[in-house]
């Protein structure tokens, strides 16, 4: 973690500019003064943030607890995703800051549950002209119960503070909830997705990737993707209404079971430690609509999230149920 973002997959950044600027003093020039791009990646152990900040003047001489008064990044998590209104609670909310003070990296955590471990993150930076890159690794144990597994969800917000030497002039923000008030109910959402397990190994076909070791916690195989890089593709078993399958997991992982083609009642048994812990009955639609119901299984709690759409499938499927199982 050194501030070099060359190992980041630079896709779909969150771009903050003039429309996201909150002015505090009349000295600020908004997007002409500061802008930023945020990239996020993750593995089982860490959430990674790569941040590119463009600022005409870099300035921060504050003590760690006051780095928000100078050029800095503030990041907050509603890790249990309870969206508390009006203030932080003491069971799953975190706020931390990252800055470069006198050419040295400085971090500080303002908010965490009483039971949280001491702050331990990795943070590096590089500066070139008016551009500063931040590279940050936050262990998931530092933002528990948010966890490093596909489908894990939390509230998130972040901002970049602006100080050109005469005090904090303003900031650019992803959402409300940090800069002016502390309100997790206004945070955005972060959901850990799979499908991009790519390595910097060029290829022209899948055979060029065959010597590599697996890097994702799921059964599957290497393919040469459209970027001519080797990518590990997780297998997703297709299950008909009358099919029975056994599907072993690897570590703390999630597997998708797509039930398709035939309308009717479907029974899904969730197996943990060789015993049936829950049974879910699904009634598949007899219409041509793609009706999906995501089922999250986590810590003996079943959560349903309706994701129905009106788009028709291009194949012969007449309904569907996607079950995401969190072990």
Coil vs helix vs strand at 122 = strand
How many Å apart are CA 270 and CA 297, to the nearest integer? 9
Are 318 and 266 within one domain? Answer: yes
CATH of the domain at 178: 2.60.40.1190
Distances in Å between the alpha carbon of 129 and those of 4, 10, 41, 61, 99?
15, 21, 26, 19, 17
How many Å apart are CA 265 and CA 66, to the nearest integer? 58
Torsion sign (Cα): 264, 283, 238, 261: positive
Predicted local confidence at residue 257, as pLDDT? 41
pLDDT in tens, 179-214: 999 999 999 988 876 655 666 678 999 999 888 876
Predicted local confidence at residue 222, as pLDDT? 85
Domain, as residue range, for 217: 198-234
Is 140 in contact with 40 (CB distance < 8 Å)? no
Distances in Å between the alpha carbon of 293 and those of 131, 171, 234, 282, 312?
44, 39, 21, 9, 16
Task: Kindly report the pTM of this predicted structure.
Answer: 0.63
- Determine what percent of the chain falls in helix, strand and coil, rounding each to the nearest 5: 10, 45, 45
Q: Is 81 left (phi over 0), alpha (psi -120 to 50) or beta?
A: left
Domain count, the chain: 3
Are 181 and 36 within one domain? Answer: yes
Predicted local confidence at residue 318, as pLDDT? 23
Are 258 and 204 within one domain? Answer: no
Predicted local confidence at residue 176, as pLDDT? 95
Q: Identify the bridge partners of residue 320 per DSSP, sorted by sequence position.
A: 260
Are 73 and 41 within one domain? Answer: yes
Q: Give me the torsion for CA of 159, 128, 69, 90, rounded to 10°.
A: 40
Are 67 and 173 within one domain? Answer: yes
Are 187 and 206 within one domain? Answer: no
Are 144 and 28 within one domain? Answer: yes
Are 209 and 187 within one domain? Answer: no
Are 255 and 179 within one domain? Answer: no
pLDDT in tens, 221-278: 888 887 788 877 766 544 444 444 444 443 333 333 433 333 444 455 554 545 555 5
Is 34 in contact with 55 (CB distance < 8 Å)? yes
Are 230 and 242 within one domain? Answer: no
Is 188 in contact with 156 (CB distance < 8 Å)? yes
Predicted local confidence at residue 148, as pLDDT? 84
pLDDT averaged per 10 residues in sequence order, the chain, 327 residues: 80 85 77 85 88 94 97 97 92 96 96 93 95 96 89 91 93 95 93 64 89 66 82 58 43 39 45 50 41 34 30 25 24
Are 90 and 227 within one domain? Answer: no
Are 187 and 304 within one domain? Answer: no
């Amino acid at each position: 973690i050194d501030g070099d973002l060359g190992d980041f997959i630079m896709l779909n950044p969150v771009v903050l500019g003039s429309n996201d600027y909150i002015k505090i003093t009349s000295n600020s020039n908004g997007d002409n003064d500061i802008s930023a791009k945020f990239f996020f990646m993750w593995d089982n152990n860490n959430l990674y943030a790569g941040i590119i900040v463009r600022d005409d003047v870099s300035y921060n001489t504050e003590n760690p607890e006051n780095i928000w008064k100078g050029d800095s990044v503030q990041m907050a998590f509603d890790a249990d995703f309870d969206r508390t209104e009006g203030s932080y609670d003491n069971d799953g909310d975190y706020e931390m800051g990252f800055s470069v003070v006198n050419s040295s990296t400085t971090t500080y955590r303002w908010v965490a549950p009483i039971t949280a471990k001491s702050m331990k993150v990795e943070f590096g930076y590089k500066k070139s002209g008016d551009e500063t890159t931040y590279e940050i690794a936050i262990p998931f144990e530092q933002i528990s119960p948010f966890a490093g597994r596909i489908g894990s969800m939390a509230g998130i917000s972040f901002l970049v503070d602006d100080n050109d030497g005469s005090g904090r002039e303003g900031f650019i923000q992803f959402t409300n909830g940090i800069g002016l008030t502390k309100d997790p109910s206004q945070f955005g959402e972060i959901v850990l997705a799979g499908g991009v397990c790519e390595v910097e190994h060029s290829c022209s076909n899948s055979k060029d990737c065959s010597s590599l070791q697996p890097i994702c916690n799921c059964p599957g195989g290497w393919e040469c993707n459209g970027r001519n890089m080797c990518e590990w593709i997780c297998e997703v078993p297709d299950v008909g209404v009358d099919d029975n399958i056994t599907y072993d997991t690897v570590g703390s992982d999630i597997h998708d079971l797509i039930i398709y083609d035939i309308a009717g009642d479907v029974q899904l048994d969730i197996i943990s430690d060789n015993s049936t812990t829950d049974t879910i009955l699904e009634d598949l639609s007899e219409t041509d609509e793609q009706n999906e119901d995501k089922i999250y299984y986590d810590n003996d709690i079943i959560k349903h999230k309706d994701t129905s759409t009106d788009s028709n499938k291009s194949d012969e499927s007449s309904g569907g149920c996607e079950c995401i199982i969190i072990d």
